[in-house]
A and B are shown apart, each in its own frame.
Chain A
Amino acid sequence: MSLADVVTGLGEALQAISGLRVVPFTADVHPPEAVVDLPTSVDFDSTFARGTDTYAMKIRVYVSRADDRSGRIKLASFFPGGASDVKAAVESDPKLGGAAKTVRVTGAENVGYFDVAGVSYLGCDFIVDVMA
């Protein structure tokens, strides 16, 4: 199980969210979009014999802020209970199709505006603990 497998596995899990474009790493943004980025930290040797490492992955979700109110409503839909629940989509298969031993979306942070290539988007980061 490699980091590339984990990124791919998370991306495939997010494809279950209707209308969401999913890309690995940051490119030009076409909202609504989820970018599965490199881990913010990695804890090696969670078990003996190189059995498991634990990755803190970041999924950044962007939505358009062309209309601020509808942008906020759209972003809210990615939170638990919403129509595009990121936590439910990622945790629907805790093995990420064989890329992980278990996965948990631990929280969300950095809700706010992000500039990408000179364009401002509304977004937030979902933090995902992946044991792989």
Chain B
Amino acid sequence: MPDPEFFHGRETVLEIGDTSATPTYTDISEFLNDATPTLSATTVDLNPFGSGAWARKLSGQKSGSFALAGYVDNGATGATAKLQALFESGARLSVNYYPTGKVTGRRFMNCTGIISSFSPKSTSTDAVSFTSEIQIDGEPTWDEVGP
């Protein structure tokens, strides 16, 4: 068995783009310090005769969301402006998420979604930050980064 190879989250890259046939992506990693996709599936309880005390399960519908956190930037073309504009317009966006870095051969997730929240946060002792959530629309796909 090969030695496991782990990766630090600092290598994570996140790009957002439009949902055209050939999307133009913008790397917003430098503005972010947290990117957490949550994929889940509902399950249905089955109680057939003879199953005893243990419930049986059927898999149900899958869905997902993507939580982002980072620092607010004042630039017109920065991550804050892009995410805020997408939230206000309700437009779909495309997301490329490279949890172990954008390096040839490593896996990344692509999905489309709609931004359901964008929340700036101010405290007197820290840089202004934000959290945002993307509701994943449809099935995310995983692929390898090409050469």
Q: Please determine whether B13 and A49 come into contact, CB atoms closer than 8 angstroms.
A: yes
- A131 to B30 alpha-carbon distance, docked (Å): 12
- A47 to B129 alpha-carbon distance, docked (Å): 11
Q: Please determine whether A49 and B71 come into contact, CB atoms closer than 8 angstroms.
A: no
Q: What A residues does B29 contact at CB under 8 A?
A: 47-49, 51
Q: What B residues does A101 contact at CB under 8 A?
A: 71, 127
Q: How far is the CB of B128 from chain A (nearest CB, A)?
A: 9
**Most-contacted residue by chain B among A49, A104, A131 (CB, 10 A):** A49
Q: How many A-B residue pairs have CB under 8 A?
A: 43
The yes or no answer to B14 lying at the interface (CB within 8 A) is: yes
Q: Please determine whether A47 and B127 come into contact, CB atoms closer than 8 angstroms.
A: no
- A64 to B11 alpha-carbon distance, docked (Å): 49
Q: What A residues does B13 contact at CB under 8 A?
A: 48-49
- A48 to B9 alpha-carbon distance, docked (Å): 7
Instruction: Tell me which of A47, A102, A104, A131 contacts B32 (CB under 8 A).
Output: A47
- A106 to B30 alpha-carbon distance, docked (Å): 24
Q: Which residues of chain A from 46 to 76 have any CB-CB distance to chain B below 8 Å in the complex?
A: 46-52
- A102 to B13 alpha-carbon distance, docked (Å): 23
Residues of B bordering A, CB below 8 Å: 8-14, 27, 29-33, 35, 70-71, 125, 127
Residues of A bordering B, CB below 8 Å: 44-52, 101-102, 104, 106, 131
